[in-house]
Amino acid sequence: MTRWLDDDEQRAWRAFLSATQLVNEALDRQLQRDAGMPHTYYMILVALSEAPERSMRMSELASRAQSSQSRLSHAVARLEERGWVRRARCSDDRRGNIAVLTEDGFAALAAAAPGHVEEVRRSLFDVLTPEQVRSLDEICTAVRNTLER
């Protein structure tokens, strides 16, 4: 039997969909305008910048970027063209590939970060109270933990 959403759930669901789409679009517009890169590329650069030796197996990077292997491979190819990422063979598994953030890629990320953070604040956090930020964190963590299983 289908458990239909009640009115409160339906309203919250639609608000969630609309808000996440609008925030993502605002972040993408800002990064395209100010840094010449889509939000997806920014997230790949961030993941690599936080990884040991600024490198990560492509399969792990795809998971971290919430992307398919083929979509990530295409994005990494574009980042390679810009000189921001290079690929290398995995030393312990000859079949595996590693994406490595270059110095130019780190510089591009560092240049893009201030504008990106300002847009995140403007689009999301500036309209929330500290209590709402805590609630948002709790809600998103609960959903993520359920879906990552």
Residues in the chain: 149
d(CA 149, CA 146): 6
Report the C-alpha gap between 62 and 1 in whole angstroms: 36
Residue pLDDT, tens place only, 96-143: 789 999 999 999 999 999 999 999 999 999 999 999 999 999 999 999
Domain at 25-147, CATH from 3.30.70.1400, 1.10.10.10, 3.40.50.360, 3.40.50.300: 1.10.10.10
SS3 label, residue 87: strand
The domains of the chain are located at 25-147
Q: What are phi and psi of 49, to 5 degrees?
A: -65, -25
* Cβ-defined contacts of 37-40 (< 8 Å, 24+): 37/108, 37/112, 40/65, 40/67, 40/75
pLDDT attached to residue 113: 98
Give the Cα separation of 18 and 88 in Å (integer): 40
Per-residue tokens: 17: 């969909």
Q: Is 79 exposed, middle or buried (0-12, 13-18, 19+ CB in 10 A)?
A: buried
* Angle made by CA atoms 47, 136, 42, in degrees to the nearest 5: 20
For residue 30, what pLDDT band results from cuts at 50, 70 and 90?
very high
Question: What pLDDT score was predicted for residue 148?
Answer: 84
Q: Is the pTM of this model over 0.85?
A: yes
Q: Which of the four pLDDT bands, split at 50, 70 and 90, describes residue 25?
A: very high
Residues of the chain above pLDDT 90, percent = 87
